[in-house]
Structure 1
Amino acid sequence: MKTYIGILFIALGIMLSSSCKKDEAVKQGNPVITPTSEFSAAHFGDSLQFQVDVSDTEVPLSTLKAQLFYSDEMVSETVIRTKTNGEYTGKIYVPFYANVPDGTATLKLVLQNTSLTISEKELEIPLTRPDFPFLTLVTATGEHRMDRVGLHEYAATKVFPFSVKGYIKAPKVGTSGNEMTFGWEDNAVAIGSTTEIPFSNSSSGTYAITFNTFSYQASPFIIAYAVNGTVMDRIDDNRFKVDVTVSQGQDITIDGIEDLSNWFIDPDYFSKDANGILTFLPISGKYRITANFTLKYFIVEAMSGSGLATLQPDGTGAIWIIGEGIGKPGIATNQVGWNTDNALCMAPIGNKKYQVTGVAGTTFKADNINFKFFHQKGWGGEYKHDNIKTTSDVIFIGNGTNGRDSGNLGITAGMSLEIGATYVLTVDVGAGNDKAVLTVTKK
């Protein structure tokens, strides 16, 4: 028994000795850091150059890390391979964040040798925000100088259109500074971006575009697009929408769109008099109006509650068009096609009738259409040849064997719509949803 216990103590001693040797191996060497550059001050946004003399007389070196801290948060790091003793030069970026006041940052230098022994040294660096002499607003039409008008505040005041898109460029300040850009990311101004900021004013003319380099606050963003006093919600830079309840025959007031006279006004939904006053034509109800600034077109869609309307069993609601050969304001720029997101809502004109109006060669293809009527904006209920009829001699309804799928419309062989003529297509479901009648009227 004594022999057995003795063997255990010997084994334990060997293990402890081995462990100590491993610990000693980990701690071998003596890395020494000697900074040879001074940091009296720096700016946020600088690429700060540093020089460090490093050595270890016992163990080869591995890496030198330069880590920059704002308070307790590491905001930047540079790693340098240190294969030999000597002087090394590197740069570390001093981030330019919003709402960070002047203060003192900590530069931590971490030297490590190949046995993982580490030596650290900390240096304090006073930081201030750069005082830019000016900024530059860069737009598609040119560059506009933004003068300093206050602490961190810059403005370009001149004649601008009501909508201006551009990014902001700040010049290099000091020997370690960098040129910086400010653009639009996630509906806010962000550093390092050149995505255009969507500035907008209530009207064109002389006004100031401003930017604060401390808070990143910019102006103006007066998206005052409104229908009958209800402000439209932004979908993206080019589309705004609003859900409104309107009455048949009610005048429609649209605010904030300066070039409204150049917009396409859908004749199914609005009339426009000589004074530019718009009047709502379909039956009273709730509608979604989407302003598409790319197409200069108001998309109007019937609603039920908080969603888009569908055709109801009693024939009320909405009928939608999906397919080829039709598009508003024109097939050249916005053909509906088979993308259900583009489905066109027919105007409900009362007595369970729905209509779409267009010009041959512009809204309708004159010699080739292939669209059909649906119960909703999307796939689902649809009109086929056994539940919709027409007496038109120029437009026929496909039955699956006559050149069109069941319910799809086509132009009769040897015929075409008259280029430039206006046509009104009306679907009447007064006799029942399964007994719809399509009427084609040339105006």
Structure 2
Amino acid sequence: MPAAPQHPREAERLASLRSYQVLGTGADAALDALSAAAARALGAPAAVVSLLDEDRLWLKSAPGLSALVGYEHHEVPRELSFAGHVLGGHPLVVPDATTDPRFADLPMVTGPEHLRAFAGAPVTGRDGLVLGVLCVLDRVPREFDAGAVQVLAGLATAVAEVLELRRADAAAGLDARDVLAGSHRLRAGIDAGQMAVHYQPVVELTTGRWISVEALVRWEHPERGLLPPAAFLPLAEASGLVVPLGRQVLRTACTQVARWRREVPEAADLYLAVNVSGRQLDEPDVHEVVAQALAESGLPAQALILELTETCLPGAGAEVDTALQRVRDLGVHLTLDDFGAGYASFSHLQRFQPGAVKVDRSFVAALGRSERDDLLAGTLIDLGLRLGCHVVAEGVEHREQVAALTSRGVRHAQGHLFGAARSAADLRPLLHRAAARPSCGPRA
């Protein structure tokens, strides 16, 4: 029995396959549906989505296979499979395995399974390397016409697209099996008003006065209690629910801060900072959403700061530039959040021209640890100041950090040293500290 040829870039192909983090994982409803559709479309009793690992074929989805062969498979030795022959990137059709010297001696052909017919289309990743195969199997010889093979190839492309989603889910720390159900629960939570906005102050370091508050979302989960952003924002990003969630947070926060500015004399000049994700910036009507939130709440545009997370901006296209310019034209301020944590700090400063930067907490935490750490933090601060940006330090926890920051020209900061994020009800009694000086506000 001739061995299936190795891929010419086998090591690279295996590295690509493992980056999807789906080997050895359980059933996947989306892949089950696609493979079942392949079986129906080609009139076959079984279909399989299998991934070609180094020495095995991992069966990721196999509807009908256990009924066809009499027992359930999870993996098959690679050298004993049909699928190893699709690594060239082309569909493979075997009308009768007993007459094909490549497969006539396979145990699944000669043994009690009696597999005879096979048609498989390669599942190709975004780097052009074959990850596995979508195939149909039968115990009787049969022909597969060109139209059937074309349908199979189309479904194999859909399998690859599902795997890309799973890779994105894994990169966000999500279990692919929980994404759909978790997204439905999050959607229900948004619709039911379970998302609460808390507010953390940004203070003037020399006086302790509150200059602004940052709106931070929490989920008042009916079963798990109050959840921090890390517990659900990755899911919101992966599912696209960050867009409706972001709109809800913006409306709620604008309404709340506008009320404080009207009702609490000490908060008459309080600014509001709201985070905006890359997914929100991709929405064509983002400036209209901001304008509507301002109009409905009565919050002046000059009192709103949109914080752009630096790590979400590298892939931003020209449409993001247009959207941000329209937002800026409203009079809204822009801040580059997590400054220094991404890979393109200089280019983002040049491209988006924010009026302020927030130095990432990792640099603040490292102050005083070594000359190198101090140099890095000082360089980021000096860069922002020299470009005329308002500089805010994030994650301030200790008095020693305050001294180090003020000595470097930083005037404003936020962190647990000055107060944790609180609900609107808990924050209101503290607003007497929020007498903001107009001269301390962020520049456009």
TM-score between the two structures when normalised by the length of structure 1: 0.29
- Name the structure with the higher helix share: 2
Bigger relative contact order, structure 1 or 2 (CA pairs below 8 A, ≥6 apart): 2
- Name the structure with the higher strand share: 1
Greater C-alpha Rg: 1
TM-score between the two structures when normalised by the length of structure 2: 0.29
